[in-house]
Homo-oligomer: A and B are copies of this chain.
Amino acid sequence: MYNHAPENYKCPLCLLVNGIENEHTMAKQVDIVYRDDLVVAIINSKFVGNNPGHVIVMPAKHFENLYELEPEYAHRIIDISQKLAKAIKEVRKCDGIMIKQVNEPAAGQAAFHYHMHIVPRFKDDNYNKEIVNGNERVSDPSERIPYAKALKEYLKNHND
């Protein structure tokens, strides 16, 4: 429904979910901070301005966007987004959390597999301004490791 993925799309998030790292994937397996039977969450490869190391949560099954998402995946995604939001609050000592999820290129969708962004927000971080100014970059995998490690550690110790 309202699909934009090109024919024979090599879905980078399906590759990630299936444990593959190749030329089609920016994400590494060590970026994974949470997984269960329905969803996977990682430290996002792209870092934005003053808010590096945010998390995305995605269904393990391929759905291009919100319009297609099946209810059991949708429910798990919002449950886990809540769990991760609370964990990010503790680990990052941030002042707020922003949830963002975009559908179709006009809204800014680049990877054509549903994913919800969970972004730590800080007082006066100028998040929107940084986006407008194009201050978004692909991080080096090594930059993501401390964020992933801290969050995994927290989740391991707060498994409720």
Chain A 45-77: CB-based contact to B (< 8 A → 1; otherwise 0) = 000000000000000000000110101001101
Select one of B86, B95, B107, B131 contacting A104, CB under 8 A: B95
Interface size grouping (class) on chain A: 35 or more
In contact, B96 and A106 (Cβ under 8 angstroms): yes
A107 and B96 in contact (CB under 8 A), knowing A75-B78, A81-B66, A82-B66?
yes
Closest to A131 in B: B128
Question: Any chain B CB within 8 A of the CB of A153?
Answer: no
Give bound CA distance, A101 to B86, whole Å: 15
Copies in the complex: 2
* Any B CB within 8 A of the CB of A122: yes
**Besides the known contacts A1-B86, A99-B99, A128-B131, 5 further A-B residue pairs in the complex with CB atoms under 8 A apart:** A94-B106, A95-B107, A98-B103, A99-B103, A129-B132
Q: Can you list 23 A-B contacts (CB < 8 A)?
A: A1-B86, A66-B81, A67-B86, A67-B89, A67-B97, A69-B82, A71-B79, A75-B75, A75-B78, A94-B106, A95-B104, A95-B105, A96-B102, A96-B104, A97-B102, A97-B107, A98-B100, A98-B101, A102-B121, A106-B123, A107-B121, A128-B132, A132-B132
